[in-house]
Amino acid sequence: MNQIVSEPVEQITHQISGLNISETLSYLANKFPGKVIFSTSFSVEDQVIAHQILSNQIPISIFTLDTGRLFAETYSVWSSTNVKYGTKIKTYYPDRSLLEDYLDSKGPNAFYESIENRKQCCHIRKVEPLKRALDGNAVWVTGLRAEHSPDRKNLQAIEWDEGNKILKYNPLLWWSTTEVRNYIDAHDVPYNVLHDRGFVSIGCAPCTRAIKPGEDFRAGRWWWEDAEKKECGLHVHQS
């Protein structure tokens, strides 16, 4: 645990048993006031959670990581979300000196050249800013779903993230893609139009493509790599 979270995960899991998502979010926000934070990439999953938080006025901070290489469509849904809910989502950017050193030494598209380069780029643009965003908080709310990756089928709704020393709550873990899209439509939630063009997992523009019929959910991310486990380092599961 950390200095903020002292109860075992099992105890907190028991306490939220039977609560729906908005009730669980409210419970966590009351239990850890000012220490619950939600990371959004403006995916359909994240937009469902943002709607739950913002429409119910749950006191949970929302932030995003601007890597500097996002799609124009991602910025559009970010803007639409701010307007619809009257909010201002906080932004974390890569450390300038780290990014400048990487670009000066390896160039702007070095991530295509090796897995090591790609992971270093992800670390600078995503992992390091995330650690700054999570620092000092108790609960990290995410939009992870089991359908997105074989490794994620072993996750729990509430779990301890040892790498970041924080509780992680995955409210949509067992939702299907159909359930997510039905919720977006039913509540008129702004969403990234790239999802209508075959994009499933949307990240940086140079590293994301639409998937083909029958392809795995993660096939559109870092498609030039052969490795089975294609994660950027934001969500590392200790099995």
If one counts every other C-beta atom within 10 angstroms of the C-beta of residue 199, the result is: 20
In order along its 239 residues, the chain shows pLDDT tens digits of 565 777 889 999 999 999 999 999 999 999 999 999 999 999 999 999 999 999 999 999 999 999 999 999 999 999 999 999 999 999 999 999 999 999 999 999 999 999 999 999 999 999 999 999 999 999 999 999 988 776 677 789 999 999 999 999 999 999 999 999 999 999 999 999 999 999 988 999 999 999 988 888 778 889 888 755 555 555 454 43
Question: Catalytic residue at 204?
Answer: no
In whole angstroms, give the CA distance from residue 74 to residue 205: 10
- In sequence order, the 6+-apart residues with CB closer than 8 A to the CB of 148 are 200, 201, 217, 218
**Cα(68)–Cα(207) distance, integer angstroms:** 13
**Residue length, the chain?**
239
- Determine the pLDDT at residue 239: 39
Which of the residues 122, 204, 207, 232 is marked catalytic? 232
CB 63 within 8 A of CB 89: yes
d(CA 195, CA 29): 30
The whole-number pLDDT of residue 8 equals: 86
Tokens of 124: 């600078």
Residue whose entry in the numeric block shows the structure tokens 């030494």: 105
Give alpha helix (H) positions in the chain. 9-15, 21-31, 44-55, 72-85, 96-106, 115-122, 128-134, 177-186
- Could you give all domains of the chain from N- to C-terminal order, each with its CATH number? 9-192 (3.40.50.620)
| pLDDT value of position 236 | 52
Q: pLDDT at position 6, please?
A: 74
Give the CA count within 13 Å in the CB-facing half-sphere of 225. Answer: 22
